Amino acid sequence: MTDEFTTDIYYDDDADVSTLDDETVAVLGYGSQGHAHALNLHDSGVDVVVGLREDSASRSAAEADGLTVTTPADAVSQASYVSVLVPDTVQADVYENAIEPNLEAGDTLQFAHGLNIHYNQIQPPEGVDVTMVAPKSPGHLVRRNYENDEGTPGLLAIYQDTTGDAQERALAYAKAIGCARAGVIETTFQEEVESDLFGEQAVLCGGVTALVKHGYEALVDAGYSPEIAYFECLNELKLIVDLMYEGGNMEMWNSVSDTAEYGGLTRGDRIVDDHVRENMDEVLEEIQNGEFTREWILENQAGRPSYSQLRQAEQEHEIEDVGARLRELFAWADDETETEAESAEVAADD
């Protein structure tokens, strides 16, 4: 563990996967996170059973991957460690119908996102440990990094420690899925939920795609070709962010031209200005006061009308078609099979 920072960060040497030797881990769900956790745990020598509905399209993938698959209720009844990796919006229902009836004293109930616990959608019983191991990465990269002998940073939180060794078991789990290779930061359910919801809304998913689309539209509306706009504002973003990922903003600044560096440093704050920060603070407030979660729960209860409409509009944005056609022309495109994300998306939709 390092104490260089304000939080405790744990690494492989701080955890022992053999802690789980006598445990059976039920992984409920086999989508983005579920398939990664189940396969990484399995490859780390942990006894895993996957819990999926009888009609789930994910079943064939999990069985083809050599994993034992059963229903969520049966998986929980077999397990002493339950990892809830179904969508946030169905967790309360799965908990009520499959988990709670089969949970036993001394079991671990674990999440990869704290929303349902923090916003009181699930009230766990006394007598069980309630933990969180939350990878800071999309699931298919949690798997890819593990297979490449790398890892993804993760957050670890203990909501309830009845047995006295909740943290030891959660750390063993985090190591088994590869997070301790990169660092496991101790936090709380509240801090994980609020920072994760904010990050995905304001920066990683919402903010960045809005920036890309506005940049694309500004160029195309000014008469530049869609192909140039796509390569400039979307494709090259990965290459830029790769440098930031490897060595911080300065590695990127050191690699781009002086012209780009001067232009970026002088104009960047005009594009993402104080008004954007005010909007960020407003979005964070909606997360902290529960407004976002209430809205998301009501949206699902209504059958996702806005979600479906927004997703359709996103799919129909010109940049999607231009990008798909350009990616097909990449010299290596013929080698591509269905991407992991696409296969995880299929699994998630069932």
Ligand X SMILES: NC(=O)C1=CN([C@@H]2O[C@H](COP(=O)(O)OP(=O)(O)OC[C@H]3O[C@@H](n4cnc5c(N)ncnc54)[C@H](O)[C@@H]3O)[C@@H](O)[C@H]2O)C=CC1
Which among 37, 113, 118, 140 is annotated as catalytic?
113
Exposure string of 337-348, with b = 16+ CB inside 10 Å and e = fewer, is: eeebeebbeebb
196 contributes a contact to ligand X2X by CB under 6 A: yes
175 contributes a contact to ligand X by CB under 6 A: no
Residue type, 26: A
Tokens 């967790």 belong to which residue? 91
Size of interface with Mg ion, in residues (CB under 5 A):
2
**C-beta neighbour count of 109 within 10 angstroms:** 24
As a whole number of angstroms, the distance between CA 346 and CA 350 comes to 7
Token duo for residue 69: 């698959």
Does 66 count as an annotated binding residue?
no
Exposure on the CB side of residue 134, measured as CA atoms within 13 A: 25
196 contributes a contact to Mg ion by CB under 5 A: yes
Catalytic residue check, 140: no
152 contributes a contact to ligand X by CB under 6 A: no
75, containing H or E segment = helix 72-78
113 contributes a contact to ligand X by CB under 6 A: yes
Distance in Å, CB of 200 to Mg ion, minimum = 5
Among candidates 26, 30, 28, 67, which has minimal Cα distance to 345?
A: 30
Interface mask (CB under 6 A) for ligand X2X, residues 138-177, using x and -? x---------------------------------------
192 contributes a contact to Mg ion by CB under 5 A: no
Token duo for residue 6: 């304000």
32 contributes a contact to ligand X by CB under 6 A: yes
Among candidates 24, 20, 35, 46, which has minimal Cα distance to 172?
A: 20
Are 144 and 340 a contacting pair, CB within 8 Å?
yes
158 contributes a contact to ligand X by CB under 6 A: no
Residues numbered 316-345 forming contacts with ligand X, rule: CB under 6 A: 344
129 contributes a contact to ligand X2X by CB under 6 A: no
What's the sign of the alpha-carbon dihedral 216, 221, 222, 224?
positive
203 contributes a contact to ligand X2X by CB under 6 A: no
Residues numbered 63-92 forming contacts with ligand X, rule: CB under 6 A: 72, 85-88, 90
Distance in Å, CB of 136 to Mg ion, minimum = 6
As a whole number of angstroms, the distance between CA 329 and CA 223 comes to 23
Distance in Å, CB of 142 to Mg ion, minimum = 11
Exposure string of 71-101, with b = 16+ CB inside 10 Å and e = fewer, is: ebbebbbbbbbbbbbbebbebbebbeebbbe
- The entry of ligand X2X, Mg ion, ligand X, none near residue 205 (CB within 5 to 8 angstroms by kind) is ligand X2X
33 contributes a contact to ligand X by CB under 6 A: yes
Give the interface with Mg ion as residue ranges (CB under 5 A): 196, 200
Active site residues: 113
Known binding residues for NADP(+) are 30-33, 53, 56, 58, 139
Binding site for ligand X2X (CB under 6 A): 136, 138, 196, 200, 204-205
